Chains A and B, each alone.
Chain A
């Protein structure tokens, strides 16, 4: 079974004043394919940092530890190599790419990931179907990537990519934030379709248990101050809802 393994990961960022600041301070996580791991934690605890570090954003420097995908050293790979190896990140704040249409972007990405251009006829059908499932208006295909998209539309667009690119492991960084109740359901169903069809491992970063009613995690990790403070089953999420993060913070 394919596994994404994160061992004792330490990550720093460069500060504006020239110094460096350690954000991740020894993260351990193991995700098997088909598993859903929820990561919850206070603002600023380093959840997005973890997500970006897995994907390889140049802003983050790994100073210790390892990330492996089926034993392969992910940290030695460039951003695009990681994507082609099967990693996917649905971003908390997807960026705009002016002048590039969604359909062009999706086709280019698919071609890059698969190493060959998708068969035109089935591809057009697949895109249409996936957009339909996510209740995205067909006109989005001809709009520029994320340009003038609403917050919720950007999130749907991220899940659209996940469905079409079929990664082995997907990190979803607050995909539920900013979604209305209906959109939350629609997007969750998209993730569940992926889980049912290609069965990727999913790392689901969220602040709310609401999404966990639709996407059932097997594991919940409490992320505090740059590391996993506690892990458990789905019931841990419910207890967080009641008690908050206070007990972890005081312990730290």
Chain B
């Protein structure tokens, strides 16, 4: 394994022409030794091979094969974004980066350590802001650590492959129950070829008081990343899971199709925070769904900054009385990007409440869409739902749309919907610039202010990173 760094890095180290989204902040790539052996294209043989390499139980193989059949049969979504650029035959569905899992930082291969150094993981750890880091490198988790007191409390926080191996009964009980194998084409695909992701179980009454974090990267050209996350928060427990993505630039298109299933039991609360910052060639098609039982609370905090296309609508099924669902999302789209994001709330029990706040920013001809569905089933009386979506257009060539859908089968409900589309005004820019700020700095300040209601919910280091990303993007947005 060599330590050569790709041309991308040299380009970035050159003139400081980081024109926002055009070039990527973490735009380096490690030597591509791990991916070279992976095959392209999808077949039963590939699926069997993945399962065999992981020495999985028979039921998982059967599920994968069933999913593969459903994937082939299901149509591509004909709404949302243009997905015709995805070439399923030209994707590697399984890549193994290291043969065995490393158990400590020191055991990580040099080039992987190098990558994570640049992502700042050791610093984050030093600051004790994270409880354990499950760092997903390519398709398998290679680094894993969990704080001892969590283990003592019975909290399970492992990569999903380990979860299946070591906690098979628990795993089997919940896997695929929130998002069935045939839910949609991409959920089927994920079920067929999934690898990596996080498996979390929090026992009754246990509060995990620091966020659990995982970092993901795609590192092989044309490699799809199909991680699978399953979180079970038992009665009265609390956990905050944080997932951040960064990826290097590649010439050809990449696919990221994850599935996240969350079971929030009675009176439990789960917060799931994502900052998605894939490079601009990635199709990011993620299915995220949670069920919330009586008195339970599920919160999705979802930031979509990178990718070519994102289609992601985190959902909460409010199954028990007084369950609550909340989605806060930020989407930024620059040149060549389409962020089609939103939320879905299903009120299936009385006295359930949901709230959606969506903030999107489009610039440089980029496009943001809010797509939301509020469903109130018969019998879910005294339910309440509020939706607020605000779009900010930084220039006149960008675009923003709102697609709110409501399906209300109960009379006794309270619904609120507010949507605004605004432009950065000349007067705001002038005001800040007349106080000495350069145009891009002023623009970044306005944009940061716009997303502040969501950004303040992020863990500190993510909020800071988000601010830096916005500054970088605004450098290319003006002038």
Which residues of A come within 8 Å of B, CB atoms? Answer: 55-59, 78-80, 82-84, 88-89, 91, 94-100, 105, 108-109, 112-113, 144, 161, 165
10 A-B pairs in the complex with CB atoms less than 8 angstroms apart: A58-B426, A79-B434, A80-B442, A83-B435, A83-B436, A97-B445, A98-B449, A99-B453, A105-B445, A113-B436
B425 and A95 contact, CB distance less than 8 A: yes
**B441 sits at the interface (CB 8 A):** yes
Question: Which residues of B408-450 are within 8 A (CB) of A?
Answer: 425-428, 430-439, 441-442, 445-446, 448-450
Q: Is the CB of B451 within 8 A of A80?
A: no
Is there a chain A Cβ closer than 8 Å to B32's Cβ?
A: no
| B475: interface (CB < 8 Å) | no
Judge whether A112 and B425 touch: CB under 8 Å.
no
Residue of A nearest to B444 (CB): A108
* Chain A residues whose C-beta falls within 8 Å of the C-beta of B183 in the assembled complex: none
How many angstroms from the CA of A194 to the CA of B197 in the assembled complex? 60
Contact of A109 among B437, B439, B446 (CB under 8 A): B437
B452 adjacent to chain A (CB < 8 Å)? yes
* Given known contacts A80-B433, A89-B434, A97 and B428 CB-to-CB distance under 8 angstroms: yes
For the complex, what is the distance from the CA of A96 to the CA of B449, rounded to whole Å?
11
- Contact, CB under 8 Å: A97 / B449: yes
Q: Which of B426, B430, B442, B448: most chain A CB closer than 10 A?
A: B430
Contact present for A165 and B435 (CB under 8 Å): yes
- CB contacts (< 8 Å) of B428 on chain A: these are 95-97
Closest 7 CB pairs of A and B: A99-B449, A99-B452, A112-B436, A109-B435, A79-B433, A100-B449, A113-B436
Q: Output the least CB separation between B284 and chain A (Å).
A: 26
B441 pairs with A108, CB closer than 8 A: yes
Q: Which residue of A lies closest to B426 (CB)?
A: A58
Most chain B CB within a 10 A radius of its CB, from A58, A59, A80, A83: A80
A75→B439 CA distance, assembly (Å)? 17
20 extra A-B contacts, CB within 8 A, seeds A78-B439, A95-B428? A55-B430, A57-B426, A58-B426, A79-B430, A79-B433, A80-B442, A82-B434, A89-B434, A97-B446, A97-B449, A99-B448, A99-B453, A108-B445, A109-B436, A112-B436, A112-B437, A112-B441, A113-B435, A161-B435, A165-B436
A84 touches B436 (CB 8 A): yes
Complexed CA–CA distance, A161 and B437 (Å):
14
Chain A min CB distance to B444 (Å) = 10
What A residues does B446 contact at CB under 8 A?
A: 97, 100
Hey, which chain B residues are within 8 Å of A112, CB to CB? 435-438, 441
Give the distance to chain A from B359, nearest Cβ to Cβ, in Å.
10
Closest Cβ–Cβ distance, residue B429 to chain A (whole Å): 8
Chain A binding surface, main DSSP class? mixed
Is there contact, CB below 8 Å, between B431 and A95?
yes
Quick one: given A99-B453, A112-B438, A112-B441, are A78 and B433 in contact (CB under 8 Å)?
yes
Question: Measured between alpha carbons, how far is A10 from B425 in the docked complex, in Å?
Answer: 25
Minimum CB–CB distance for B445 against chain A, Å = 6
- In chain A, what residue has the closest Cβ to B447? A99
A94 touches B431 (CB 8 A): yes
Binary contact track B378-413/A, C-beta < 8 Å → 1, others 0: 000000000000000000000000000000000000
Which residues of B approach A to under 8 Å, CB–CB?
425-428, 430-439, 441-442, 445-446, 448-453
CA distance A113 to B438 in the complex (A): 10
Q: B436, A99: Cβ atoms under 8 Å?
A: no
Verify B437–A100 contact, CB threshold 8 A.
no
A59: which B residues are within 8 A, CB to CB? 426
Would B436 and A98 count as touching, CB distance under 8 A? no
* Measured CA separation A124–B449 after assembly (Å): 22
Chain B: which residue is nearest A100 at the CB level? B449
- Once bound together, how far apart are the Cα atoms of A41 and B452, in whole Å? 42
**Complex Cα spacing A55 to B427, Å:** 12
Which among A78, A97, A113 is the interface contact of B432 at CB below 8 angstroms? A97
Please state if A57 and B437 are interface contacts (CB–CB under 8 Å).
no
The reply to whether B431 and A91 form a contact with Cβ atoms under 8 Å apart is: yes
Chain B residue, CB-CB nearest to A79: B433
Q: Cα distance A55–B435 when bound, in Å?
A: 10
A144 contacts across to B, CB distance below 8 A: 449
User: A244 → chain B, closest Cβ, in Å?
Assistant: 32
Q: Assuming the A-B contacts A57-B430, A83-B433, A109-B435, are A99 and B425 also in contact, with contact meaning beta carbons closer than 8 angstroms in the complex?
A: no
**Residues in chain A near residue B430, CB distance under 8 A:** 55-58, 79
Known: A59-B426, A95-B431. A100 touches B448 (CB 8 A): yes
| B456 (CB) vs chain A CBs: closest residue | A99
The CA of A9 and the CA of B200, in the complex, are separated in Å by: 70
Closest A residue to B430 using CB positions: A57
How far, in whole Å, are A13 and B448 apart by their CA atoms in the complex?
Answer: 31
Residues of chain B within 8 A of A78, CB atoms compared: 433, 439
Report how far A95 CA is from B439 CA in the complex, Å: 16
Provide the residues of chain A in CB contact with B442, threshold 8 Å.
Answer: 80
Question: Complex formed: what's the CA distance from A83 to B446 in Å?
Answer: 19
Q: In the complex, what residue of chain B is closest to A52 when comparing beta carbons?
A: B430
CB distance from A216 to the nearest CB of B (A): 26
Contact call B437/A108, Cβ cutoff below 8 A: yes
Which A residue sits closest to B437, measured CB to CB? A112
- Residue of A57, A82, A84, A100 near B452 (CB, 8 A) is A100
Shortest C-beta distance, B92 to chain A (Å), equals 42
A109 to B448, CA, bound (A): 15
A93 CB to closest chain B CB, in angstroms? 9
**Chain A residue contacts of B452, Cβ below 8 A:** 98-100
Q: Shortest CB–CB separation between residue B401 and chain A, in angstroms?
A: 22
Q: Which listed residue, B426, B431, B433, B451, touches A97 by the CB 8 Å rule?
A: B431
Residue among A78, A99, A112, A161 with most chain B CB within 10 A? A99
Residues of chain B with a CB closer than 8 A to A165's CB = 435-436
Chain B: minimal CB distance from A227 (Å)? 24
Chain B residues with Cβ under 8 A from A95's Cβ?
Answer: 425, 427-428, 431
Expressed in whole angstroms, the Cα–Cα distance for A57 and B433 within the complex equals: 10
When distances are taken between beta carbons in the complex, the residues of chain B under 8 Å from A99 are: 448-453
Question: A166 to chain B: closest CB distance in Å?
Answer: 12
Contacts of B441 in A (CB 8 A): 108, 112
For the complex formed, measure the closest distance between the CB of A56 and the CB atoms of chain B, giving whole angstroms.
8
Cα–Cα, bound, A58→B445 (Å): 19
> Which of chain B's residues have a CB closer than 8 A to the CB of A94?
431
Chain B residues with Cβ below 8 Å from A91 are 431
Of B438, B445, B449, the residue contacting A80 (CB under 8 A) is B438
Q: Which of A56, A82, A83 has most B Cβ within 10 Å?
A: A83
Give the docked Cα–Cα distance between A144 and B449 (Å).
9
